[in-house]
């Protein structure tokens, strides 16, 4: 099973069963596909950049190269911003147009009282669109399924799931997202936009494609993990910025939710990227406002107008707002719980079979169509308001007053919400001056529908975001509370809807600062800030008492070895020698080729300690750490010696830095591709110039908690364990992120489980857990 071989990829010393990685990985196919081949990336670039060979690095070389690097860095950010904003814009325009045409056709049919025909058109078009999304996702790139945010977040933590940043994934994500969103499924586009942004960034940084000759030598500087991760961070910020036209919100989202390592310089570059997105979007929207983008070009990406006048509120508004927050926390944690379960159930039903997955998607689509078309019949018709500023009922365009089955001069408020894109529904709910537009029953039904549909829609094999559904759902119960509070509050219903959306975002994503700023930028009203903050505080606090945020739950279900920033208390009771296990594979400074090949073929480790023994050194000493990728490169170049004597040949003639550059995502060389003759097997390799001579080390008595802090804070891939008392080998083990997964440690130290669970019980209300 492939998971087994690769799940262990990082672990030097421990035969790790796939079931240990994730109990789910065996039974669930989507998980198995994505969770397989996990290969932690070299987290920061310290490890690779400090062998003798790399010391003659370009960074200290010449002004020209430094200029090239800096120029490219900013150019790439500019390109990321430009491309992501264009994709976001086209995405939005396509959804507005496809869905708009669909709704207009249905609207005309309903006007002509041909409701059966309307239903057939509605459900068939939805089914076709869903099918398109599901087919390309299942057969072209299954890594494009779901939101993408958990994958990008795991990548930024150092977990490189295969194929998440390939060109195929990008293509599927764009097309799939457009068709899924316009198919009336309750899925969003923000998550996919984040993934698209990250994809664009990774592909740009990867330096085009060597296969197709589309590469540029200036891009060689980005062939390392740190620069690529920086680009991906900027890309994910650009994604949110493009989805919501919220540049600061996008920046804060990347900062709060995505990154594991943060630097001040990154803030500045991500800000530049989101600024480019904002500037281009403003230009494009201006262009569309003049009517050049088709009949539906004015929809979407437009800021919601909650209230341009001053928002005034007093102390009496605090209780309903607090209630909203608490409700948001309760609903949010319930939502997370249910979503997690539903995804697991889906995975156990469909298994790995693409056919079943597509069938499931079709079923969900048909079910959604039936529900959406059927529910408005439950709602009673309302007479059109006399002072309506727009035509009522709406004819031939998006609008707040859908006639549906109602008699002339009347509109169906539930249909108005349902037969619009989610963006337009949000706009309806957020808008001021619409306090009497909706009935209790309609809003209640709409809330239930959204809550339910968004949970069952997420897990299908298609790009599906969570942000927009969460906002719609939150806005609907915000409206509900507003109607219950009625005239007891000075706030208008639109503001309650915004606060409801904030509370639900706080309850599910647990993103506070970014959610707040995104909503403020959407509504362009900074005066709402205090209320927004209050509601987010309440909802996050309540929801944290029950479970984790939705992305962490999904990541856990996918079996990503995500490394938390803080150590669990029981790790203080252990030393690193408690988790290191043998046998340790190591190489000598001058190693027989056959040995290297055999070790690389029989293990999947990514790093090996190199030691020097006599005659090179009096007693065995640790020389450093060599990476698998570099060994394979050496074998491919056949830089062999005929004897164990170091020759002193200048390696820089044989190799260039580019040979050791990080390959693009999923393009790493494999040992199976290396052919070595019998004769060559008895030759030798001088590993010294390619060994990182300054690996980070810990003494075997170091507490596990502190070793974790070192691994996490410095962003290491390997940590060498050296003995406390001399006499044995100069290195006793190697630690990787897999050795720090709490579940694995507890399974091999069951005695700690009690203390862990005691710890958990104590801190069961998670908000009591100090972090």
141-144-146-150 Cα dihedral, nearest 10 degrees: 130
Considering the complex, state which of residue 286 and residue 650 has its C-beta at the smaller distance from its own copies. 286
Q: By CB under 8 A, what part of segment 275-294 binds its own copies?
A: 275, 278-279, 282
Binding window for its own copies (CB under 8 A); candidates: 291-299, 375-383, 550-558, 759-767: 759-767
**CA 613 to CA 615: how far, in whole Å?**
6
What is the nearest approach in angstroms of its own copies to the Cβ of residue 689? 16
Closest CA to 328 of 116, 498, 185: 498
User: Nearer to its own copies by C-beta: 66 or 639?
Assistant: 66
Task: Name the phi and psi angles at 382, rounded to 5.
Answer: -110, 145
Partners of 726 in beta bridges: 728
CB nearer its own copies, residue 603 or residue 697: 697
Which residue from 490, 654, 682, 701 is in contact with its own copies, where contact means CB under 8 A?
A: 701
Q: Which two tokens stand for residue 700?
A: 């075997």
Residues 307-336 interacting with its own copies (rule: CB under 8 A): 308
Nearest alpha-carbon partner for 197 in 164, 169, 167, 237 = 237
384: CB partners within 8 A, 6+ apart: 392, 393, 401, 409, 410, 411
Close Cβ partners of 219 (under 8 Å, ≥ 6 residues apart): 72, 205, 206, 207, 208
Q: Which is nearer to its own copies, 344 or 697 (CB)?
A: 697
Contacts with 591 (C-beta within 8 Å, 6 or more apart), sequence order: 684, 685, 687
Task: Using the rule CB under 8 A, give the single segment among 59-67, 129-137, 361-369, 645-653 that binds its own copies.
Answer: 59-67
The least CB distance from residue 134 to its own copies, in Å, is 35
CB of 573 to its own copies, least distance (A): 8
Q: Which stretch binds its own copies (CB under 8 A): 172-180, 471-479, 508-516, 677-685?
A: 508-516
Q: Among 7, 235, 247, 329, which residue sits at the site for its own copies (rule: CB under 8 A)?
A: 247
Please count the helices (runs of H) and the strands (runs of E) in the chain: 30, 12
> Of residues 217, 389, 679, 726, which one binds its own copies by CB under 8 A?
726
Stretch of residues binding its own copies (CB under 8 A), selected from 418-426, 442-450, 582-590, 724-732: 724-732
Least separation in angstroms between CB 500 and its own copies: 18
70 is an interface residue for its own copies by CB under 8 A: yes
Q: How far is the CB of 440 from its own copies (least distance, A)?
A: 31
Query: Which residue's CB is nearer to its own copies, number 362 or number 537?
Result: 537
Alpha-carbon span 729 to 622, nearest angstrom = 9
C-alpha count within 13 angstroms, C-beta hemisphere, residue 565: 8
Residue 154 beta carbon to its own copies: minimum distance, rounded to whole angstroms: 16
Q: How many CB atoms lie within 10 A of CB 5?
A: 12
CA-nearest of 265, 282, 283, 271 to 247 is 271
760 binds its own copies (CB under 8 A): no
What is the C-alpha to C-alpha distance for residues 480 and 396, in angstroms, rounded to an integer? 29
Cα distance between residue 75 and residue 69, in whole Å? 10
- Per CB under 8 A, does 763 bind its own copies? yes
Question: Min. distance of Cβ 489 from its own copies in angstroms?
Answer: 17
Question: Pattern 33-52, binding to its own copies, x per CB under 8 A?
Answer: -----------x-x---x--
From the CB of 613, what's the least distance to its own copies, in Å?
A: 13
- Closest distance between its own copies and the C-beta of residue 57, in Å? 9
| Among residues 155, 244, 253, 272, the one that binds its own copies under rule CB under 8 A | 272
| Among residues 714, 729, 742, 753, the one that binds its own copies under rule CB under 8 A | 714
Q: What are phi and psi of 73, to 5 degrees?
A: -60, -50
- CB half-sphere exposure, 658, CA atoms < 13 A: 10
The pair of structure tokens assigned to 203 is 């592909």
What does the per-residue mask of binding to its own copies show for 661-700, with x meaning CB under 8 A? Answer: --------------------------------xx-xxxx-
Asked whether the beta carbons of 675 and 715 are under 8 A apart, the reply is: no
Contact of 488 with 462, CB cutoff 8 Å: no
Select from 85-93, 141-149, 385-393, 756-764 the region that touches its own copies (CB under 8 A).
756-764
CB 545 to its own copies: min, Å: 12
Residue 709 lies near its own copies (rule: CB under 8 A): yes
Contact (Cβ atoms closer than 8 angstroms) between residue 442 and residue 428: no
Considering only residues 202 through 241, tell me which ones interact with its own copies, judged by CB under 8 A: none
Contact 207, 216 (CB under 8 A): yes
Q: Which stretch binds its own copies (CB under 8 A): 186-194, 256-264, 366-374, 578-586?
A: 256-264
Q: Nearest-CA neighbor of 249 among 260, 259, 238?
A: 238
What whole-number distance in Å separates Cα of residue 420 and Cα of residue 100?
A: 8
Q: Are 516 and 532 in contact (CB under 8 A)?
A: yes
Structure tokens at 508: 């599910």
Positive/negative CA dihedral, 689, 691, 695, 697 = negative
- Nearest distance from C-beta of residue 358 to its own copies, angstroms: 38
Ramachandran category for residue 715: left, alpha or beta (phi over 0 → left; psi -120 to 50 → alpha): left
User: Pick from 17, 19, 168, 256: which binds its own copies (CB under 8 A)?
Assistant: 256
Question: Minimum CB separation from its own copies for residue 274, in Å?
Answer: 8
Tokens of 306: 């909650």
Q: Report angle CA 545, 550, 554 to the nearest 5 degrees.
A: 125
User: DSSP class of residue 146?
Assistant: B
Q: Does residue 56 interact with its own copies by CB under 8 A?
A: no
| Residue 57 vs 645, nearer CB to its own copies | 57
Kindly identify the residues of this chain, within the stretch 514-573, that bind its own copies according to CB under 8 A: 516-517, 520-521, 524, 526-527, 529-530, 533-534, 537, 540, 565, 569, 572
- CB–CB of 126/368 below 8 Å? yes
Region of 125-133, 204-212, 268-276, 667-675 interacting with its own copies (CB under 8 A): 268-276
Q: Residue 431 carries which DSSP code? A: -
Shortest Å, Cβ 671 to its own copies: 29
Distance CA 733, CA 227 (A): 29
What's the burial of 713, exposed, middle or buried (CB within 10 Å: 0-12/13-18/19+)? exposed
| Radius of gyration for the alpha carbons in the chain, expressed in angstroms and rounded | 28
> In angstroms, what is the minimal distance from the CB of 669 to its own copies?
27
Least CB distance to its own copies at residue 257 (A) = 8
State which of residues 26, 397, 405, 769 lies at the interface with its own copies (CB under 8 A): 769
Nearest-approach distance from CB 535 to its own copies, in angstroms: 11
Per-position x/- string for 354-373, each x denoting binding to its own copies as judged by CB under 8 A, each - no binding = --------------------
* Choice between 30 and 51, CB closer to its own copies: 51
CB proximity list for 530: less than 8 A, separation 6 or greater: none
Closer CB to its own copies, 321 or 466, in the complex: 321
Query: Interaction with its own copies in 601-620: which residues (CB under 8 A)?
Result: 618-619
Instruction: Give the tokens for residue 284.
Output: 């494009």
Per-residue mark of binding to its own copies, 619-658 (x: CB under 8 A): x-xx------------------------------------
Among 556, 638, 706, 749, interactor with its own copies by CB under 8 A: 706
Count of residues interacting with its own copies (CB under 8 A):
83
Figure out which of the listed residues 713, 743, 748, 751 binds its own copies, where binding follows CB under 8 A. 713
Report residue 684: phi and psi, to 5°.
Answer: -130, 155
Which of 70, 390 has the CB closer to its own copies? 70
User: Is residue 250 close enough to count as binding its own copies by CB under 8 A?
Assistant: no
Contact between 75 and its own copies by CB under 8 A: the answer reads no
């Amino acid at each position: 099973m492939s998971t087994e071989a690769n799940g262990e990829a990082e672990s030097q010393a421990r035969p790790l069963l796939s079931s240990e990685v994730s109990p789910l990985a065996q039974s669930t196919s989507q998980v198995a596909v994505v969770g397989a081949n996990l290969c932690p990336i070299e987290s920061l670039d310290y490890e690779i950049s400090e062998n003798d060979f790399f010391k003659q690095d370009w960074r200290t070389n010449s002004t020209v190269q430094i200029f090239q690097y800096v120029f490219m860095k900013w150019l790439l950010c500019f390109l990321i911003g430009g491309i992501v904003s264009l994709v976001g814009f086209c995405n939005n325009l396509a959804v507005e147009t496809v869905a708009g045409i669909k709704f207009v056709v249905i609207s005309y049919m309903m006007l002509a009282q041909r409701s059966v025909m309307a239903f057939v058109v509605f459900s068939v078009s939805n089914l076709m669109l869903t099918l398109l999304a599901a087919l390309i996702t299942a057969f072209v790139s299954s890594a494009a399924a779901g939101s993408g945010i958990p994958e990008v977040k795991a990548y930024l933590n150092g977990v490189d799931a295969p194929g998440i940043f390939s060109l195929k994934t990008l293509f599927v994500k764009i097309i799939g997202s457009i068709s899924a969103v316009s198919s009336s499924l309750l899925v969003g586009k923000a998550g996919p936009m984040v993934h698209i942004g990250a994809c664009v960034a990774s592909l740009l940084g990867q330096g085009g494609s060597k296969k197709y000759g589309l590469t540029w030598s200036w891009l060689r500087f980005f062939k390392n993990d740190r620069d690529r991760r920086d680009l991906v961070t900027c890309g994910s910020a650009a994604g949110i910025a493009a989805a919501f036209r919220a540049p600061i919100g996008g920046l804060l989202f990347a900062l709060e939710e995505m990154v594991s390592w943060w630097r001040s310089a990154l803030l500045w570059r991500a800000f530049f990227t989101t600024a480019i997105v904002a500037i281009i979007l403003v230009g494009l929207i201006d262009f569309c406002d003049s009517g050049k983008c088709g009949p539906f070009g004015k929809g979407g990406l437009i800021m919601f107008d909650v209230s341009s006048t001053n928002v005034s509120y007093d102390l009496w508004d605090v209780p309903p707002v607090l209630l909203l927050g608490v409700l948001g926390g309760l609903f949010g944690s319930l939502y997370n719980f249910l979503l997690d379960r539903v995804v697991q159930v889906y995975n156990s039903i469909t298994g790995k079979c693409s056919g079943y997955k597509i069938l499931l998607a079709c079923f969900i689509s048909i079910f959604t169509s039936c529900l959406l078309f059927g529910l408005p019949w439950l709602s009673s018709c309302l007479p059109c308001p006399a002072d309506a500023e727009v035509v009522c009922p709406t004819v031939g365009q998006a609008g707040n007053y859908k006639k549906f089955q109602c008699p002339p001069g009347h509109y169906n408020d539930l249909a108005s919400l349902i037969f619009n894109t989610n963006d337009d529904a949000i706009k309806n709910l957020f808008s001021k001056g619409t306090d009497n537009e909706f009935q209790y029953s309609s809003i209640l039904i709409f809330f239930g529908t959204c809550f339910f549909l968004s949970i069952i829609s997420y897990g299908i094999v298609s790009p599906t975001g969570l942000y927009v559904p969460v906002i719609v759902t939150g806005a609907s119960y915000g409206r509900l509370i507003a109607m219950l509070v009625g005239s007891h509050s000075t706030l208008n219903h639109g503001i309650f809807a915004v606060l409801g959306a904030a509370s639900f975002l706080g309850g599910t994503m647990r993103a506070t600062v970014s959610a707040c700023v995104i909503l403020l930028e959407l509504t362009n009203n900074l005066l709402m800030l205090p209320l927004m903050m209050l509601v987010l505080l309440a909802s996050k606090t309540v929801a944290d008492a029950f479970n984790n945020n939705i992305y962490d739950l999904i990541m856990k279900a996918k079996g990503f070895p995500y490394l938390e920033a803080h150590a669990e208390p029981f790790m203080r009771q252990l030393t690193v020698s408690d988790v290191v296990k043998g046998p340790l594979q190591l190489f000598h400074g001058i190693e027989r080729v056959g040995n290297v090949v055999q070790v690389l073929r029989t293990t999947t480790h990514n790093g090996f300690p190199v030691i020097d023994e006599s005659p090179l050194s009096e007693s065995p000493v640790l020389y450093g750490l060599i990476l698998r990728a570099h060994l394979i490169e050496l074998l491919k170049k056949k830089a062999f010696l005929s004897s164990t004597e170091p020759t002193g040949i200048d390696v820089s003639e044989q190799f260039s830095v580019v040979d050791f550059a990080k390959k693009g995502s999923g393009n790493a060389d494999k040992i199976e591709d290396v052919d070595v003759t019998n004769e060559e097997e008895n030759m030798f390799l001088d590993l010294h110039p390619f060994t990182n001579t300054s690996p980070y080390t810990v003494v075997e008595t170091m507490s596990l908690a502190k070793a974790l802090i070192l691994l996490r804070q410095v962003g290491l891939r390997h940590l060498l364990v050296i003995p406390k008392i001399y006499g044995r080998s100069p290195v006793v083990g190697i630690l990787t992120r897999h050795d720090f997964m709490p579940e694995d440690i507890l399974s091999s130290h069951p005695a700690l489980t009690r203390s862990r669970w005691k710890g958990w019980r104590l801190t069961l209300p998670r908000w009591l857990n100090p972090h």
